Structure 1
Amino acid sequence: MKHENLKVRTKAFALRIINLVDKLPNNLSCQVIGKQLLRCGTSVGANYRASCRARSQADFISKIGIVIEEADEALFWMELLVESGIIKEVLLQSLINEANELVAIFIASGKTAKENNKN
């Protein structure tokens, strides 16, 4: 997938996260989960953009690792929202699917970069 497509996709993911967090109930647990989800969900796109400007293959591998960690963390917080009963799974399924797809894409990209770095 081209870099520009992933830049658009990760920004759209961030915007969906923002909209989700803004609609969470106003209680302590949602405030804590919401802040964490907002931080990691929006940083996926920011860190992906940084990886596109990596100065070396090793720098790219490091930065894409951060993207993977942040996307996976977003998945964790969304799972908590569902499993705690705060949000019905059906309402988050599309966003969870997108997060899983992004994680898979970035894992594959990182593996390819590591293989290319060995050669």
Structure 2
Amino acid sequence: MRVVKAYQYLTENKREFILSKQLIRSGASIGANLAEASGAISTADFSAKVSIAYKECLETKYWLSLLKDTGYIAEKTFNSIHADADEIGKILFSILKTTRLSDN
């Protein structure tokens, strides 16, 4: 939800359309892949979808950094959203480790 609100802010207030589009694509993809993972037909399928979500989280953090470095979002806003993305990334990585260990 924060990525959607950030996208709205960036497009409406900052008139920034390129980086913000990348941000919303990668950010929304995290949730979409987790929704797919919930309907996985195997552990391998589940792990693959969570892995994609994790990588999309890393990409989202990259776009946030770029938006901060180019002055489109303030440091405080960046720190807050980036911390949330970092926490999500840690959770996803933990799920991946647990899932892959249970396969062995």
Give the TM-score of the pair, scaled to structure 1.
0.81
Q: CA deviation at 1:87?
A: 1.4
Q: Find the counterpart in structure 1 of residue 36 from structure 2.
A: 50
Given that 2:54 and 2:92 are in contact with CA atoms closer than 8 Å, whether structure 1 keeps it comes out as: yes
Q: CA deviation at 1:92?
A: 2.2
Q: Which amino acid is 1:36 matched to?
A: Q
Q: Which amino acid is 1:76 matched to?
A: Y
Of 103-112 and 90-99, deviating more is 90-99
Question: For 1:10-25, what aligned pairs fall within 5 Å after superposition?
Answer: 15-24=1-10, 25=14
Given that 2:65 and 2:78 are in contact with CA atoms closer than 8 Å, whether structure 1 keeps it comes out as: no
Of 109-118 and 89-98, deviating more is 89-98
Structure 2, gaps ≥5 residues long: none
Give the TM-score of the pair, scaled to structure 2.
0.92
Structure 1 segments of 4+ aligned residues over 4 angstroms from their partners: none
Q: How many matched pairs?
A: 101
Structure 1, gaps ≥5 residues long: 1-14
RMSD: 0.9
